[in-house]
Amino acid sequence: MSVDVNINQSVAILVDGNNIERSLHTVTKSENTMINFDVLIPRLLDNRGLNRLIYFREGKNISSKLKERLHFYFHGSVIPCHKSADIPLTIKATQLASKVDTIIILSGDSDYIELVRHLKSEGVRVEIAAIEDTTSHLLVEEADYFHPIISEDVFELTGQPKKQRPKTPYKKTR
């Protein structure tokens, strides 16, 4: 006899945008590779309810197209960070801990190990989603579950010129 189980979990997804982008660009060797949130988010949720989706990004040059897409499809928001996303993401995770059952952190950064430990001690299930090759093994061991970001979760921007590193200006000496 098969019994259907109704999963009624509330999930928050917190994205360390710079970490995920750097990892993805390192592995693919292309700065035009991007996460396909339309594919990744439903896979991560696996029929659970999305409470919040917050994308933390260092700097002020955040794609308005990404902001609009995350808001339109997931009621998500993009938060610019002065420096690294580590502290703002950690603060938001601790604020959400009493409001959700699960927090999924999109980052492979070992800086989040203590956050994972704290959230788990508060009774929150913590999952990590990241590029496996660039993810801290200690972070994976500490989490309740690890979702590797796979090739189906990414896409290549087409029609975009390859980004070139700016040349360092220098003075000629005689």
Q: What is the pLDDT of residue 73?
A: 86
Q: What is the pLDDT of residue 169?
A: 44
Distance of alpha carbon 54 from alpha carbon 75, whole angstroms: 9
128 SS3 class: strand
Judge contact between 138 and 155, C-beta under 8 A.
no
Q: What is the pLDDT of residue 167?
A: 44
Token pair in block for residue 3: 């019994």
CATH of 10-155, one of 3.90.180.10, 3.40.50.300, 3.40.50.1010, 3.40.50.1370: 3.40.50.1010
Distance of alpha carbon 149 from alpha carbon 33, whole angstroms: 13
Q: What is the pLDDT of residue 173?
A: 43
pTM for the predicted model, two decimal places: 0.86
Distance of alpha carbon 159 from alpha carbon 155, whole angstroms: 13
Q: What is the pLDDT of residue 60?
A: 64
74 SS3 class: helix
Per-residue confidence in pLDDT tens, the chain, 174 aa: 677 776 789 999 999 999 999 999 999 999 889 999 999 999 999 989 999 999 999 876 777 888 888 888 888 888 888 888 999 999 999 999 999 999 999 999 999 999 999 999 999 999 999 999 999 999 999 999 999 999 999 999 886 555 544 444 444 444
Distance of alpha carbon 160 from alpha carbon 174, whole angstroms: 40
Q: What is the pLDDT of residue 69?
A: 87
Judge contact between 16 and 85, C-beta under 8 A.
yes
Q: What is the pLDDT of residue 48?
A: 94
